[in-house]
Amino acid sequence: MQNRLAKKISCAVSASVNRSKVDIKNGFQGKAPVSMRIRTQISSAVILAFLLLQLPGNLEASCNPLFEGADPDILFANKKYWIYPTGTGQGQEAYVYSSADLKTWRKGGVAFALKNAKWISSDRAKKHYLWAPGIFQSSGKFYYYYSVGPQNPTPSRIGVAVAKKPDGPFIDSGKALITGDARFEAIDAMVFQDPKDKNHYLYCGGSAGAQLKVFELNDDLISIKQEVPVQTPKDFTEGPFMHFHNGIYYLSYSSGRWNDDSYHVSYSTAATPIGPWKYQGIILGSDNKHAGPGHHSIIKVPSLNNWYIVYHRWNAAKTHGKLPKERSIAIEKLEYLPDAKIRSTMMTD
């Protein structure tokens, strides 16, 4: 019990100190000295850590990394959190991880297998890979949007499978939802319902062509109503994610190269879900210990007025001059500044 308590206090203090470092980096705008602010935050963090022991599900007492994987999307359903990542195996099967408190995660069985999507062999490629899933819940069903590669020599594609439970099994729709071309890589789908007009928009694309595309879905959520013309935002590479907060649409996405430490999370904002975009800056970037944070998702915790970002990264940033083989899933608290911008976030352990 004492060890668990010490770990939770350590994590809370670490998170508070890291946020203070961001304040110093970005320029302190308050009236109190920076040193006083740091001491105050550390003291508050210790007190808070004790109080958090009485609040299951509050992430302030949680530590990273959560588990190995990449490209996570997160959902809250059936009183649990669910993370849908790209796996660490051969790219043929997808698993779902669940947690009641965002701290302890359980790996479930196979939720979706590429062999059950019979249509993917129509391009006659010798090998196909499953990655970068996006999840969406509607009317008691769960929609699993997934990327199918390779991009070359054949175009990448996006498929969709449906389940009655958040952990599957997901049954494939039987056809490609979106097919790429020489200039557009059909990957990294995420679905967002506009709280204003209730339309469903699918955001996708990136990497090779670094092009964002947006499609409006039909009510069945497994077919396209129309493509919506949009501009690709500044520094866009892949992994688009849309969320809405206090009347503003936040489009966040991965920038840099996906396979090195230039990878990071940027964001732009707009007054509509389809732009025009105003670039705002970086949410997550590499540090001396962690590299390549990116391909994220964002969630608001239902029981708290807190937002969190779930992402992947390389831990032990560089070992023997190169990045580790496997990436890990991590989670951080997302904070909004008074001017509606998102505070630059320091990665924690």
Whether 137 contacts 124, CB under 8 Å: no
Question: Distance (Å, rounded) from C-alpha 31 to C-alpha 118?
Answer: 63
Which SS3 state, helix, strand or coil, does residue 311 take? strand
Closest CA to 202 of 190, 212, 218: 190
* Inter-axis angle of helices 2-26 and 34-52, nearest 10: 150
User: Can you tell me the distance from the alpha carbon of 91 to that of 220, in angstroms, rounded to the nearest whole number?
Assistant: 27
Active site residue 238: yes
Task: State the catalytic residue, choosing from 172, 188, 238, 261.
Answer: 238
Are the C-beta atoms of 292 and 261 separated by less than 8 Å? yes
Three-state DSSP state, 13: helix
Q: Are 345 and 309 in contact (CB under 8 A)?
A: yes
Residue 119 · residue 111 · CB < 8 Å = no
Q: Could you tell me the CA-to-CA distances from 12 to 18, 80, 299, 336 in Å, in that order?
A: 10, 23, 20, 19
CA distance 185 to 205: 5
Which of 71, 172, 185, 188 is an active site residue? 71
Task: Please list the residues that pair with 252 across neighbouring strands.
Answer: 241, 267
- By the 8 A CB rule, do 117 and 88 touch? no
DSSP-derived secondary structure for 73-140: EEEEETTEEEEEEE-SSSSSEEEEEEESSSSS-EEEEEEEEGGG-GGGGGG--S--EEEEEEEEEETT
Closest CA to 142 of 160, 118, 159, 163: 163
Catalytic positions, please? 71, 238
